[in-house]
Amino acid sequence: MVGLSKSKEKYLPLPPQDLVDLFLRTEEWSNSKRDQWGNWEHSYSSNYKQGKLWQPELDIWVKEVKKNLVNLGIELLSTWSEDAPFSVCLTHDVDILSDTVSPKQAMRKLKQYWCSEDQKNISTKIRRTLGLFKNKYTTKPSIEKTVAALHSIEKEYGVASTYFLFALPLHRISQHDCIYSLNDWVVYDGTTCSLAEVFKIIHSGGSEIGLHGSYHTATIPHLLTEQKIHLENALEIPITSTRQHFLHWEPKVTPQLQVDAGIHVDGTLGFNRNIGFRSGTCYPFYIFDRDKDSTLPLLEVPLIIQDGALFGSNALEFDPVQAFFVTKQLIDTVRSVGGCMTILIHPDMMLLDGVPTYYRNIIEYCLEHKAWFTTLSGMQNWWKNRSETLGKS
Ligand SMILES: [Zn+2]
Protein backbone atom coordinates (compact mmCIF):
# COMPACT_ATOMS: atom_id res chain seq x y z
CA MET A 1 0.00 0.00 0.00
CA VAL A 2 3.02 2.31 0.45
CA GLY A 3 4.17 2.00 -3.18
CA LEU A 4 7.80 1.42 -2.18
CA SER A 5 9.94 -0.73 -4.47
CA LYS A 6 11.34 -3.97 -3.04
CA SER A 7 14.92 -2.71 -3.24
CA LYS A 8 14.07 0.20 -0.92
CA GLU A 9 12.09 -1.73 1.73
CA LYS A 10 14.89 -1.11 4.23
CA TYR A 11 13.52 2.45 4.59
CA LEU A 12 10.13 1.14 5.72
CA PRO A 13 9.52 1.33 9.51
CA LEU A 14 7.61 -1.46 11.27
CA PRO A 15 4.05 -0.56 12.30
CA PRO A 16 3.27 -0.48 16.04
CA GLN A 17 2.16 -3.88 17.42
CA ASP A 18 -1.46 -2.77 18.01
CA LEU A 19 -1.80 -1.92 14.29
CA VAL A 20 -0.22 -5.26 13.32
CA ASP A 21 -2.74 -7.09 15.53
CA LEU A 22 -5.62 -5.07 14.09
CA PHE A 23 -4.53 -5.80 10.52
CA LEU A 24 -3.90 -9.53 11.10
CA ARG A 25 -7.17 -9.85 13.04
CA THR A 26 -5.41 -11.33 16.09
CA GLU A 27 -8.53 -10.93 18.21
CA GLU A 28 -10.58 -13.06 15.78
CA TRP A 29 -7.90 -15.78 15.66
CA SER A 30 -7.57 -16.02 19.41
CA ASN A 31 -11.20 -15.58 20.46
CA SER A 32 -14.00 -18.04 19.55
CA LYS A 33 -16.80 -15.56 20.31
CA ARG A 34 -19.27 -15.43 17.38
CA ASP A 35 -22.73 -13.91 16.90
CA GLN A 36 -26.07 -15.56 16.01
CA TRP A 37 -24.88 -16.05 12.40
CA GLY A 38 -21.51 -17.50 13.39
CA ASN A 39 -19.69 -14.23 12.70
CA TRP A 40 -17.22 -11.97 14.42
CA GLU A 41 -19.30 -8.77 14.79
CA HIS A 42 -18.14 -5.16 15.20
CA SER A 43 -19.16 -4.97 18.86
CA TYR A 44 -16.47 -7.55 19.78
CA SER A 45 -13.72 -5.55 18.11
CA SER A 46 -11.16 -3.53 20.04
CA ASN A 47 -11.27 -0.67 17.53
CA TYR A 48 -15.06 -0.38 18.05
CA LYS A 49 -14.61 -0.37 21.84
CA GLN A 50 -12.02 2.39 21.48
CA GLY A 51 -14.34 4.44 19.24
CA LYS A 52 -12.06 3.92 16.22
CA LEU A 53 -14.12 1.62 13.98
CA TRP A 54 -14.71 4.44 11.49
CA GLN A 55 -11.01 5.31 11.33
CA PRO A 56 -8.61 3.42 9.02
CA GLU A 57 -5.89 3.46 11.68
CA LEU A 58 -3.32 1.54 9.66
CA ASP A 59 -3.87 3.74 6.57
CA ILE A 60 -3.44 6.89 8.67
CA TRP A 61 -0.10 5.50 9.91
CA VAL A 62 0.90 4.58 6.31
CA LYS A 63 0.02 8.09 5.12
CA GLU A 64 2.51 9.54 7.61
CA VAL A 65 5.17 6.99 6.58
CA LYS A 66 4.68 7.92 2.90
CA LYS A 67 5.10 11.60 3.72
CA ASN A 68 8.39 10.89 5.52
CA LEU A 69 9.69 8.74 2.65
CA VAL A 70 8.89 11.44 0.10
CA ASN A 71 10.68 13.98 2.32
CA LEU A 72 13.75 11.70 2.16
CA GLY A 73 13.58 11.95 -1.63
CA ILE A 74 12.36 8.34 -2.12
CA GLU A 75 10.06 7.84 -5.09
CA LEU A 76 6.77 6.00 -4.50
CA LEU A 77 4.60 4.30 -7.11
CA SER A 78 1.13 5.84 -7.39
CA THR A 79 -1.59 3.63 -5.96
CA TRP A 80 -4.38 3.76 -8.53
CA SER A 81 -4.87 3.73 -12.26
CA GLU A 82 -4.28 7.12 -13.93
CA ASP A 83 -3.16 8.55 -10.59
CA ALA A 84 -6.75 8.62 -9.30
CA PRO A 85 -6.92 9.93 -5.71
CA PHE A 86 -8.93 6.90 -4.51
CA SER A 87 -10.81 3.90 -5.90
CA VAL A 88 -14.34 2.53 -5.59
CA CYS A 89 -15.68 -1.02 -5.83
CA LEU A 90 -19.47 -1.15 -6.12
CA THR A 91 -20.75 -4.60 -5.20
CA HIS A 92 -24.08 -6.42 -4.95
CA ASP A 93 -24.87 -9.63 -3.07
CA VAL A 94 -27.83 -11.03 -4.99
CA ASP A 95 -29.83 -12.56 -2.10
CA ILE A 96 -33.44 -11.66 -2.91
CA LEU A 97 -34.51 -11.09 -6.50
CA SER A 98 -37.88 -9.45 -6.18
CA ASP A 99 -40.83 -8.55 -3.93
CA THR A 100 -42.58 -11.63 -5.34
CA VAL A 101 -41.49 -15.28 -5.36
CA SER A 102 -42.32 -18.22 -7.61
CA PRO A 103 -43.98 -21.36 -6.17
CA LYS A 104 -40.74 -23.26 -6.97
CA GLN A 105 -38.74 -20.80 -4.87
CA ALA A 106 -41.21 -21.12 -1.99
CA MET A 107 -40.79 -24.90 -2.11
CA ARG A 108 -37.01 -24.45 -1.82
CA LYS A 109 -37.55 -22.25 1.25
CA LEU A 110 -39.83 -24.89 2.74
CA LYS A 111 -37.08 -27.48 2.21
CA GLN A 112 -34.59 -25.18 3.97
CA TYR A 113 -36.88 -24.78 6.98
CA TRP A 114 -37.41 -28.51 7.40
CA CYS A 115 -34.16 -30.08 6.09
CA SER A 116 -31.42 -27.73 7.26
CA GLU A 117 -29.48 -28.88 10.31
CA ASP A 118 -29.07 -25.39 11.72
CA GLN A 119 -32.73 -24.97 12.73
CA LYS A 120 -34.03 -27.63 15.11
CA ASN A 121 -36.82 -25.77 16.84
CA ILE A 122 -40.15 -27.21 15.60
CA SER A 123 -42.27 -24.17 16.55
CA THR A 124 -39.88 -21.88 14.59
CA LYS A 125 -40.15 -24.21 11.58
CA ILE A 126 -43.97 -24.12 11.78
CA ARG A 127 -44.08 -20.33 12.26
CA ARG A 128 -41.80 -19.80 9.26
CA THR A 129 -43.75 -22.26 7.11
CA LEU A 130 -46.96 -20.35 7.87
CA GLY A 131 -45.11 -17.15 6.96
CA LEU A 132 -44.74 -18.46 3.40
CA PHE A 133 -48.49 -17.84 2.90
CA LYS A 134 -47.85 -14.10 3.28
CA ASN A 135 -45.61 -14.02 0.16
CA LYS A 136 -46.84 -12.54 -3.10
CA TYR A 137 -46.58 -15.28 -5.75
CA THR A 138 -45.94 -15.21 -9.46
CA THR A 139 -44.36 -17.78 -11.79
CA LYS A 140 -41.96 -15.15 -13.20
CA PRO A 141 -40.84 -12.65 -10.55
CA SER A 142 -39.95 -9.23 -11.94
CA ILE A 143 -36.43 -7.96 -11.27
CA GLU A 144 -37.03 -4.56 -12.94
CA LYS A 145 -36.97 -2.64 -9.64
CA THR A 146 -34.06 -4.57 -8.14
CA VAL A 147 -31.27 -5.96 -10.36
CA ALA A 148 -32.35 -4.03 -13.47
CA ALA A 149 -32.66 -0.76 -11.51
CA LEU A 150 -29.08 -1.08 -10.19
CA HIS A 151 -27.71 -1.99 -13.60
CA SER A 152 -29.55 0.85 -15.30
CA ILE A 153 -28.08 3.44 -12.87
CA GLU A 154 -24.58 2.01 -13.42
CA LYS A 155 -25.01 2.13 -17.21
CA GLU A 156 -26.21 5.72 -16.96
CA TYR A 157 -23.03 6.79 -15.12
CA GLY A 158 -20.72 4.47 -17.08
CA VAL A 159 -19.46 2.57 -14.02
CA ALA A 160 -19.01 -1.18 -13.57
CA SER A 161 -19.81 -3.25 -10.49
CA THR A 162 -19.55 -6.81 -9.17
CA TYR A 163 -22.70 -8.95 -8.74
CA PHE A 164 -22.24 -11.94 -6.43
CA LEU A 165 -24.58 -14.81 -7.38
CA PHE A 166 -25.80 -17.84 -5.49
CA ALA A 167 -25.40 -21.17 -7.30
CA LEU A 168 -27.84 -24.01 -6.60
CA PRO A 169 -27.94 -26.99 -6.09
CA LEU A 170 -26.55 -27.11 -2.56
CA HIS A 171 -25.24 -30.24 -0.89
CA ARG A 172 -25.54 -28.75 2.59
CA ILE A 173 -28.57 -26.56 3.17
CA SER A 174 -28.82 -23.75 5.73
CA GLN A 175 -31.94 -21.88 6.76
CA HIS A 176 -30.04 -18.71 5.77
CA ASP A 177 -29.47 -19.68 2.12
CA CYS A 178 -31.02 -18.07 -0.95
CA ILE A 179 -33.83 -19.71 -2.88
CA TYR A 180 -33.31 -18.79 -6.51
CA SER A 181 -31.74 -20.91 -9.21
CA LEU A 182 -29.97 -19.59 -12.30
CA ASN A 183 -32.57 -21.51 -14.37
CA ASP A 184 -35.49 -19.61 -12.80
CA TRP A 185 -37.58 -17.42 -15.10
CA VAL A 186 -37.70 -13.69 -14.38
CA VAL A 187 -38.99 -10.54 -16.05
CA TYR A 188 -36.07 -8.29 -17.04
CA ASP A 189 -36.03 -5.34 -19.42
CA GLY A 190 -39.63 -6.03 -20.44
CA THR A 191 -39.02 -9.66 -21.45
CA THR A 192 -39.07 -13.08 -19.83
CA CYS A 193 -35.72 -14.84 -19.61
CA SER A 194 -33.73 -17.07 -17.27
CA LEU A 195 -31.64 -15.52 -14.52
CA ALA A 196 -28.52 -16.93 -16.18
CA GLU A 197 -29.39 -15.03 -19.37
CA VAL A 198 -29.83 -11.79 -17.39
CA PHE A 199 -26.38 -12.03 -15.85
CA LYS A 200 -24.77 -12.98 -19.15
CA ILE A 201 -26.14 -9.66 -20.49
CA ILE A 202 -24.89 -7.76 -17.42
CA HIS A 203 -21.47 -9.40 -17.73
CA SER A 204 -21.22 -8.57 -21.44
CA GLY A 205 -21.86 -4.91 -20.51
CA GLY A 206 -18.60 -4.80 -18.48
CA SER A 207 -19.74 -5.70 -14.96
CA GLU A 208 -18.34 -8.68 -13.14
CA ILE A 209 -20.10 -11.79 -11.89
CA GLY A 210 -18.68 -13.32 -8.70
CA LEU A 211 -19.78 -16.21 -6.51
CA HIS A 212 -21.94 -15.67 -3.42
CA GLY A 213 -20.96 -18.85 -1.60
CA SER A 214 -23.76 -20.45 0.43
CA TYR A 215 -23.69 -20.18 4.24
CA HIS A 216 -21.85 -23.48 4.83
CA THR A 217 -19.18 -22.86 2.16
CA ALA A 218 -17.32 -20.75 4.73
CA THR A 219 -16.48 -23.75 6.88
CA ILE A 220 -17.18 -27.03 5.02
CA PRO A 221 -14.63 -28.19 2.40
CA HIS A 222 -15.45 -28.62 -1.31
CA LEU A 223 -18.84 -26.81 -1.28
CA LEU A 224 -17.40 -23.54 -2.62
CA THR A 225 -15.57 -25.41 -5.39
CA GLU A 226 -18.80 -27.17 -6.46
CA GLN A 227 -20.76 -23.91 -6.51
CA LYS A 228 -18.04 -22.08 -8.44
CA ILE A 229 -18.04 -24.80 -11.12
CA HIS A 230 -21.83 -24.68 -11.30
CA LEU A 231 -21.85 -20.88 -11.74
CA GLU A 232 -19.10 -21.02 -14.37
CA ASN A 233 -21.00 -23.67 -16.34
CA ALA A 234 -24.30 -21.81 -16.12
CA LEU A 235 -22.84 -18.49 -17.30
CA GLU A 236 -20.00 -19.87 -19.45
CA ILE A 237 -17.49 -17.45 -17.92
CA PRO A 238 -14.60 -17.89 -15.47
CA ILE A 239 -15.34 -16.86 -11.87
CA THR A 240 -12.48 -15.51 -9.75
CA SER A 241 -14.14 -13.41 -7.03
CA THR A 242 -16.38 -14.16 -4.08
CA ARG A 243 -18.17 -12.79 -1.06
CA GLN A 244 -19.49 -15.22 1.55
CA HIS A 245 -23.25 -15.10 2.17
CA PHE A 246 -24.06 -13.46 5.55
CA LEU A 247 -20.35 -12.45 5.58
CA HIS A 248 -19.85 -15.87 7.17
CA TRP A 249 -16.08 -16.07 7.53
CA GLU A 250 -13.75 -18.03 9.78
CA PRO A 251 -10.16 -16.72 9.67
CA LYS A 252 -8.59 -20.15 10.18
CA VAL A 253 -10.67 -21.91 7.51
CA THR A 254 -12.50 -19.76 4.96
CA PRO A 255 -9.56 -18.13 3.11
CA GLN A 256 -7.93 -21.51 2.41
CA LEU A 257 -11.27 -22.94 1.17
CA GLN A 258 -11.51 -19.97 -1.19
CA VAL A 259 -7.97 -20.56 -2.47
CA ASP A 260 -8.75 -24.29 -2.90
CA ALA A 261 -11.78 -23.34 -5.01
CA GLY A 262 -9.61 -21.25 -7.36
CA ILE A 263 -10.84 -17.90 -6.05
CA HIS A 264 -8.38 -15.00 -6.38
CA VAL A 265 -10.20 -12.16 -4.63
CA ASP A 266 -12.63 -11.94 -1.70
CA GLY A 267 -14.82 -9.06 -0.48
CA THR A 268 -16.17 -10.49 2.78
CA LEU A 269 -14.26 -8.63 5.51
CA GLY A 270 -16.79 -6.11 6.76
CA PHE A 271 -19.68 -6.20 9.21
CA ASN A 272 -23.41 -6.93 9.03
CA ARG A 273 -24.39 -4.43 11.70
CA ASN A 274 -21.98 -1.55 11.39
CA ILE A 275 -19.80 0.13 8.80
CA GLY A 276 -16.11 0.95 9.02
CA PHE A 277 -12.67 -0.60 8.95
CA ARG A 278 -12.58 -4.14 10.39
CA SER A 279 -8.84 -4.55 9.71
CA GLY A 280 -7.94 -0.89 10.20
CA THR A 281 -7.55 -0.45 6.45
CA CYS A 282 -9.57 0.18 3.31
CA TYR A 283 -6.69 -0.93 1.04
CA PRO A 284 -6.68 -4.33 -0.68
CA PHE A 285 -4.26 -6.79 0.91
CA TYR A 286 -3.15 -10.40 0.57
CA ILE A 287 -4.52 -12.59 3.37
CA PHE A 288 -1.90 -13.79 5.84
CA ASP A 289 -2.38 -17.28 7.28
CA ARG A 290 -1.01 -17.20 10.82
CA ASP A 291 -0.97 -21.00 11.22
CA LYS A 292 1.08 -21.49 8.05
CA ASP A 293 3.03 -18.28 8.65
CA SER A 294 2.62 -17.41 4.98
CA THR A 295 0.67 -15.13 2.67
CA LEU A 296 -2.11 -16.78 0.66
CA PRO A 297 -2.65 -16.07 -3.06
CA LEU A 298 -5.94 -14.41 -2.10
CA LEU A 299 -6.52 -10.68 -2.27
CA GLU A 300 -8.92 -9.23 0.28
CA VAL A 301 -10.82 -6.10 -0.73
CA PRO A 302 -12.35 -5.12 2.63
CA LEU A 303 -16.00 -4.20 2.74
CA ILE A 304 -16.41 -0.71 4.25
CA ILE A 305 -20.12 0.08 3.90
CA GLN A 306 -23.13 -2.15 3.44
CA ASP A 307 -26.80 -1.27 3.21
CA GLY A 308 -27.88 -3.95 5.71
CA ALA A 309 -25.84 -2.21 8.40
CA LEU A 310 -27.06 1.26 7.42
CA PHE A 311 -30.77 0.49 7.12
CA GLY A 312 -31.31 -2.73 9.15
CA SER A 313 -33.64 -2.65 12.14
CA ASN A 314 -31.05 -4.67 14.12
CA ALA A 315 -28.26 -2.34 13.03
CA LEU A 316 -27.87 1.45 12.54
CA GLU A 317 -31.43 1.95 11.19
CA PHE A 318 -30.68 5.17 9.26
CA ASP A 319 -33.03 6.62 6.66
CA PRO A 320 -31.44 7.13 3.20
CA VAL A 321 -30.67 10.83 3.91
CA GLN A 322 -28.88 10.02 7.19
CA ALA A 323 -27.20 7.08 5.46
CA PHE A 324 -25.80 9.33 2.74
CA PHE A 325 -24.52 11.78 5.36
CA VAL A 326 -22.37 9.08 7.04
CA THR A 327 -21.48 7.43 3.71
CA LYS A 328 -20.09 10.77 2.51
CA GLN A 329 -18.06 11.03 5.73
CA LEU A 330 -16.52 7.61 5.14
CA ILE A 331 -15.87 8.33 1.45
CA ASP A 332 -14.03 11.49 2.58
CA THR A 333 -12.04 9.40 5.07
CA VAL A 334 -11.09 6.91 2.32
CA ARG A 335 -10.16 9.82 0.01
CA SER A 336 -7.97 11.34 2.73
CA VAL A 337 -5.84 8.17 2.89
CA GLY A 338 -6.06 7.46 -0.86
CA GLY A 339 -7.67 4.04 -0.31
CA CYS A 340 -10.49 1.97 -1.77
CA MET A 341 -14.15 2.45 -0.87
CA THR A 342 -16.00 -0.86 -1.21
CA ILE A 343 -19.76 -0.60 -0.93
CA LEU A 344 -22.41 -3.32 -0.89
CA ILE A 345 -25.97 -2.62 -2.06
CA HIS A 346 -28.30 -5.63 -2.14
CA PRO A 347 -30.66 -5.52 -5.17
CA ASP A 348 -33.81 -5.87 -3.01
CA MET A 349 -32.81 -2.76 -0.99
CA MET A 350 -33.63 -0.78 -4.15
CA LEU A 351 -37.31 -1.46 -3.33
CA LEU A 352 -37.03 0.86 -0.29
CA ASP A 353 -38.01 4.51 -0.75
CA GLY A 354 -34.97 6.72 -1.18
CA VAL A 355 -32.40 3.96 -1.76
CA PRO A 356 -32.15 4.44 -5.58
CA THR A 357 -31.42 8.14 -4.92
CA TYR A 358 -28.93 7.18 -2.18
CA TYR A 359 -27.12 4.94 -4.69
CA ARG A 360 -27.06 7.67 -7.36
CA ASN A 361 -25.71 10.16 -4.81
CA ILE A 362 -22.82 7.85 -3.90
CA ILE A 363 -21.80 7.36 -7.54
CA GLU A 364 -22.11 11.08 -8.33
CA TYR A 365 -20.07 12.07 -5.25
CA CYS A 366 -17.29 9.61 -6.08
CA LEU A 367 -17.23 10.64 -9.76
CA GLU A 368 -17.12 14.30 -8.73
CA HIS A 369 -14.00 13.50 -6.67
CA LYS A 370 -12.32 11.64 -9.55
CA ALA A 371 -12.48 8.10 -8.14
CA TRP A 372 -11.28 5.13 -10.17
CA PHE A 373 -14.19 2.66 -10.36
CA THR A 374 -13.35 -1.00 -10.81
CA THR A 375 -14.68 -4.49 -10.16
CA LEU A 376 -13.19 -6.93 -7.64
CA SER A 377 -11.37 -8.87 -10.37
CA GLY A 378 -10.27 -5.54 -11.90
CA MET A 379 -8.81 -4.65 -8.52
CA GLN A 380 -7.09 -8.03 -8.25
CA ASN A 381 -5.45 -7.59 -11.67
CA TRP A 382 -4.40 -4.06 -10.81
CA TRP A 383 -2.94 -5.02 -7.42
CA LYS A 384 -1.09 -8.05 -8.83
CA ASN A 385 0.50 -6.01 -11.62
CA ARG A 386 1.38 -3.24 -9.18
CA SER A 387 3.00 -5.73 -6.77
CA GLU A 388 4.99 -7.23 -9.67
CA THR A 389 6.17 -3.78 -10.76
CA LEU A 390 7.31 -2.96 -7.20
CA GLY A 391 9.04 -6.35 -6.93
CA LYS A 392 11.06 -5.70 -10.10
CA SER A 393 12.24 -2.20 -9.17
ZN1 LIG B 1 -25.94 -12.86 0.98
pLDDT one-digit tens code per residue, 166-203 = 998 888 899 999 999 999 999 999 999 999 999 999 99
Q: How many domains does the chain have?
A: 1
pLDDT: which is higher, 319 or 130? 319
Ligand 1 centre distance from Cα of residue 177 (Å): 8
Q: Is residue 6 very low, low, confident or very high in pLDDT (cuts 50, 70, 90)?
A: confident
Q: What average pLDDT does the segment 356-375 reach? A: 98
In a domain, 113, yes or no: no
User: Which CATH number is 24's domain given?
Assistant: 3.20.20.370
CB 101 within 8 A of CB 141: yes
Spacing, Cα 157 to ligand 1 middle (Å): 26
Instruction: Tell me if 339 is assigned to some domain.
Output: yes
**Whole-angstrom distance, CA of residue 223 vs CA of residue 254:** 11
Q: CA-to-CA distance for 269 and 249, rounded, in angstroms?
A: 8
Residues less than 5 Å from ion ligand 1, measured at CB: 93, 95, 245
Directed axis angle between helix 147-157 and helix 355-368, to 10°?
20
pLDDT averaged over the chain?
A: 95
For every residue of 238-282, DSSP letters joined together read ---EE--GGG---TTTHHHHHHHTT--EE---S-SS--S-TTS--
| Prediction pTM value | 0.96
CA of 369 to the centre of ligand 1 (A): 30
Residue 302 placed within a domain = yes
Q: Does residue 192 contact residue 140 with C-beta atoms inside 8 Å?
A: yes
pLDDT in tens, 124-150: 888 888 888 888 999 999 999 999 999
**Could you tell me if residue 129 is inside a domain?**
no
Residue 220: inside a domain: yes
Distance 254 CA to ligand 1 centre (A): 16
> 389: CA distance to ligand 1 center in Å?
35
**DSSP assignment letter at 13:** P
Q: How many A from CA of 192 to the centre of ligand 1?
A: 25
How far is the centre of ligand 1, averaged over its atoms, from the C-alpha of 174 (Å)?
12
For ligand 1, the distance from its centroid to the CA atom of residue 84, given in whole angstroms, is 31
Percent of the chain's residues with pLDDT above 70: 100
Judged by DSSP in three states, 371 sits in coil
- Would residue 246 be called left, alpha or beta, if left means φ above 0 and alpha means ψ between -120 and 50 degrees? left
User: Using CA atoms, how far apart are residues 12 and 62, in angstroms rounded to an integer?
Assistant: 10
Give the distance (Å) from ligand 1 centre to CA of residue 85: 30
Q: How far apart are CA 266 and CA 183, in angstroms?
A: 25
Let me know if residue 122 belongs to a domain.
Answer: no
What's the gap in Å between 244 CA and the centre of ligand 1?
7
pLDDT (mean) for 109-138: 86
pLDDT tens profile 212-223: 999 999 999 999
Ligand 1 midpoint to CA 213 (Å): 8
Q: How many angstroms is it from 93 CA to the middle of ligand 1?
A: 5
Task: Identify whether the C-beta of residue 239 lies closer than 8 Å to the C-beta of residue 208.
Answer: no
Q: Do the domain assignments include residue 13?
A: yes
- Residues 318, 244: Cα–Cα separation, whole Å: 25
DSSP class of 112: H
Neighbour count for residue 72 (Cβ, 10 Å): 8
Q: How far apart are CA 7 and CA 9, in angstroms?
A: 6
Q: 126 versus 249: which is more confidently predicted?
A: 249
Query: What DSSP letter does each residue of 189-234 carry, written as one string?
Result: TTEEEEHHHHHHHHHHTT-EEEE---GGGGTSTTHHHHHHHHHHHH
Phi, psi of 349 (to 5 degrees): -65, -20
Whether 126 is covered by a domain: the verdict is no
Domain residues for the domain of 326 are 6-100+141-392
Expressed in angstroms and rounded, the spacing between residue 77 Cα and the centre of ligand 1 is: 36
212 Cα–ligand 1 center, Å: 7
What's the CA-to-centroid distance between 73 and ligand 1, angstroms? Answer: 47
